[in-house]
A and B are shown apart, each in its own frame.
Chain A
Amino acid sequence: MVDIAYFSLIVSLALSGYAVVISLLGARLKREEMIKSGERAVLSVFVLLTFASIALFHAFLSRNFQLEYVASYSDRSLPTIYTISAFWAGNPGSMLLWAWLLSIFSAIVIYQNRRKNRELIPYILSILMTTSVFFLAMIIFTANPFKQLNFIPPDGRGLNPMLENPGMYLHPPTLYLGYVGFAIPFAFAMAALITGKTGEVWIRTTRKWTIFAWFFLAVGNMVGAWWAYYTLGWGGHWAWDPVENASFMPWLTGSAFLHSVMIQEKKRMLKTWNMVLIIITFILTLLGTFITRSGVIQSVHSFSQAGIGPFFLGFMGFVLVGSLTLLAFRLNKLQSKGELESLVSRESTFLFNNLILVGLAFAVLWGTVFPFISEAVKGTKITVGPPFFNQVATPLFLILLLLMGICPLIAWRKATPSNLRRNFIYPLVAAIAGAILAYIGGIRLILVLITVLLMIFVTTTIVLEFYRGTKARHRMANENYFKAFFTLIWRNKRRYGGYIIHAGVVLLFLATIGEGYKTEKIVNLKKGESVQIRQYNLKFENLSTFPTASKQVAAANLTVSNSGHLKSITARKEWYPKQEQNWTRVAVSSTLKEDLYIIFSEFSEKGDNATFKIIINPLMIWFWIGGYVMAFGTVIVMWPDRREKLRLATGYTRR
């Protein structure tokens, strides 16, 4: 099976190359049978890579340690659940996952476009399959998951303990769904440039793909943050690590793209800018894979090998130069037909929203690569860590929050002073009153007060949008308020789903406020001894040590008393002899108000005393709730909408 799987990779590479050539030839010579042949080649790649992936899953589950990859990332003691996720624990499996997802998406694109966009399809497939050729070549020549050892080891080396976490089930696949998902709008954009069909068709056709990719990138980032919070054990969820930055950047530019395409759909403007945004986003997804997989940048998330870096850089250069050259050739076809009447209009705020999102992506990229620039210029190495990103990104984030509030309040086309007065008065009054109340309530950190002010401003604008919409429906359709509210959302999924996503973002900001009020304490406790931290009383009950198949566990059992409520929690320290690695499993007790986060640092040989780092993280849970709210909003936006289809089909633009 393994040999056939390897052979299927080689055939997939050949077929991907064939699909590129035959599709381009078919388009050039206008020969439908050639185009069909290209499509069949793509479908064959999908079948072959599905087989190869199943074979790799099978190799892991059957403990086929003759495969170097299986022996390197699993062992007999690894639970089945993590044996499955070991598929994407290293470079070969991750790259195969990339290529496999790409083949699945390509097959879906063929199915979706079997009766439409026929002129674009050969170019779309040739672009997707060029990417497939790159990844398959990398797999076969540098990271072959089916490479066999010339002996069968009795057991494997086991999985990195950091990856033995439920987060690892979701984090890499969701991120890759996002990364690979952006290949589809990119391919459509390039096909639009090649064919000169630079209108709104490619944007409308790929809107769902774009939201899909954006959604999974968001989920991937959230799950990554969740994994870092519960697994890395330093008390935070985002450390501006290069790998975190790598997945955050395409999300930022993808967000800019999602907003910017609305202007093209409504006003036929920003065609060049949208092309630039999708090119940047796709290249950033490649950069994300490159940073995670090449090992060029030291990171806590980098589970990689050196050697693939130059190939990745070469491919990214090829994509960048190729797409920008195409763009340059078609600039005359990308002239805007729309009009913009005023600086103070919703269109302008969208542009500034784009500016801040792209500015943020640039700031993150700049901070990530600045150590290399500095070393090249000064010859000395520097570290660019959280203090840099916090100081540079925070103002931009706050401006983004402000724009998120301003945007829905400003009229399309042109806002008049009376329009501004009418729309801004309530949010402004609510925001100022909220900030004053927060100050009276004891908040003195000026940055927190600014954030509170902006959060209330945005929340009020969102509430007002729902209120005005519901009221209008109640009046026009004579529906009761309850029904009017839900019909409003149901009939305008894109608009109100978007506002729900914005509400989720506000909750993320709410969670970050808590950073300013974090409490940390390091305590050494004897067995039976207690410590009081704020309203929490922590008692170290006992320490139990026991071996498992893969590790030696030391579990510190604690009783937490919070205003009379008792709760038992366990913080663990684990020693993995095979990997010679120590690992900490934190204990977290969450409420809506705050998280009690306990890190088990060390213990005495007799087990009668232990050291803990105790952190109280205010408002932390709102970060995860914000993520769920964003996901809920995205589901609403993505839900099939007959009216939206009709609107787009009739070429409706609100002017």
Chain B
Amino acid sequence: MFPSISLNKQARSYSGAFNKRVFLATISTLILISLFVFVTAAQALTATEVAKGFICNCGCQKNLEDCSSTMKECGIGQDLVKIIAQKVSAGEPKAQITSYMMKNYGEKILTAPTKRGFNLVGWLSPFVATAAAAALIYITIFRWARQTPKLARVNKKPGAAKDKYSKKLDDELKKFDY
């Protein structure tokens, strides 16, 4: 009734390789999505877009563009946007405008921290923590799968037709479900 040990081993190694392939393919896709989205953040091109990179320090918690265009009574926002517009029309690159703003108002003026120095800890920690947890889950599942009693798997050759008992069980479960 039971397949031979060698067949079982073969099936298990085939199953393990298949598992690993699927798992690695999934993880690679996920990493690619993450990298792609992370690297392809929109680049600012206009004065409006540049102004969106700075926070208004009037206390409204909006970015400079949103504050100055919706709250005309916010004098600070209006003045800063004018300065940015002048610099953009003078052909100054975004990096230069950013360093001007940081020099005068501190790093706090940026809507997001720079991707330099200690700030990289901020940017990368969520990804590193998630990747580390993913590795931990992988190892845990791998161990669990190995610890699962042999009898529970012994008669399941991957891709092969199910025996009549497990087929019957599945049919019963389907009835119960639907």
Contacts and interface: CB of A to CB of B under 8 A. Distances in A.
A300 B62 CA distance: 9
A355 B144 contact: no
Contact of A339 (B22, B112, B129, B148): B148
Given A234-B62, A343-B141, A386-B111, A374 B119 contact: yes
A344 B113 CA distance: 39
Nearest to A397: B37
Given A387-B41, A395-B37, A582-B73, A355 B138 contact: no
B94 to A, nearest CB: 13
A447 B70 contact: no
Contacts of B138: 343
B156 A395 contact: no
Nearest to A472: B178
Contacts of A415: 22
A399 interface: yes
A382 B177 CA distance: 53
A597 B141 CA distance: 50
Contact of B159 (A233, A402, A417): A417
B152 A599 contact: no
Contacts of A299: 61
B118 interface: yes
A355 B126 contact: no
Interface in B137-160: 137-138, 141-142, 144-145, 147-149, 152-153, 156, 158-159
A343 B22 contact: yes
Interface in A479-506: 488, 491-492, 495
B117 to A, nearest CB: 8
Contacts of B66: 234-235
B178 A492 contact: yes
Nearest to B61: A300
Interface string A373-402: 110011011111111101110111011001
Contacts of B147: 339
Contacts of B113: 370, 374, 382-384, 388
Contact of B118 (A343, A378, A522): A378
A204 interface: no
A348 B141 contact: yes
Given A341-B145, A342-B145, A394-B37, A298 B130 contact: no
A452 B84 CA distance: 36
A383 B55 contact: yes
A492 B125 CA distance: 40
A396 B37 CA distance: 10
Contacts of A352: 134, 137
B145 A416 contact: no
Contact of A340 (B33, B110, B145, B158): B145
A185 B20 CA distance: 37
Contacts of B19: 342-344
Contacts of B152: 339, 341
Contact of B33 (A239, A339, A398): A398
Interface string B86-127: 000000000000000000001111111100001100110111
A359 B126 contact: yes
A613 B70 contact: yes
A321 B144 CA distance: 29
A241 B122 CA distance: 17
A241 B123 contact: no
A398 B40 CA distance: 15
Given A241-B61, A359-B129, A395 B33 contact: yes
B83 interface: no
Interface string B28-62: 01100111111011000000100001010001111
A343 B17 CA distance: 11
Given A298-B59, A343-B141, A476 B178 contact: yes
B5 interface: no
Given A381-B106, A399-B30, A399-B33, A420 B22 contact: yes
Contacts of B61: 239, 241, 298-300
B126 A392 contact: yes
Contact of A582 (B71, B127, B130, B159): B71
A399 B31 CA distance: 9
Contacts of A384: 112-113, 122
Contacts of A239: 61
Contact of A351 (B15, B35, B59, B137): B137
Contacts of B173: 654
B122 A374 contact: yes
B129 A300 contact: no
Interface string A226-270: 000000011100010100000000000000000000000000000
A611 B72 contact: yes
A383 B129 contact: no
A306 interface: no
Contacts of A343: 19-20, 22-23, 138, 141-142, 145
Contacts of A155: none
Contacts of A491: 178
Contacts of A473: 178
Interface string A509-535: 000000000001010000000000000
Nearest to A475: B178
A395 to B, nearest CB: 4
A488 B175 CA distance: 11
Contacts of B158: 416-417
Nearest to A415: B22
A395 B38 contact: yes
B10 interface: no
A391 B119 contact: no
B133 interface: yes
A366 interface: yes
B69 A447 contact: no
A415 B18 CA distance: 10
B164 interface: no
B60 A392 contact: no
Top 4 nearest A-B pairs by Cβ distance?
A363-B126, A395-B34, A359-B130, A385-B111
26 contacts: A300-B61, A336-B144, A341-B148, A342-B19, A343-B138, A344-B18, A344-B23, A351-B137, A362-B126, A362-B129, A381-B106, A381-B108, A382-B110, A383-B108, A383-B109, A383-B110, A385-B111, A388-B113, A391-B37, A399-B30, A399-B33, A417-B18, A582-B71, A601-B69, A601-B70, A654-B173
Given A339-B149, A351-B141, A491-B178, 16 more contacts: A339-B144, A340-B145, A342-B15, A343-B142, A355-B134, A358-B133, A374-B119, A382-B110, A395-B127, A396-B34, A417-B159, A476-B178, A582-B71, A602-B72, A652-B176, A654-B177
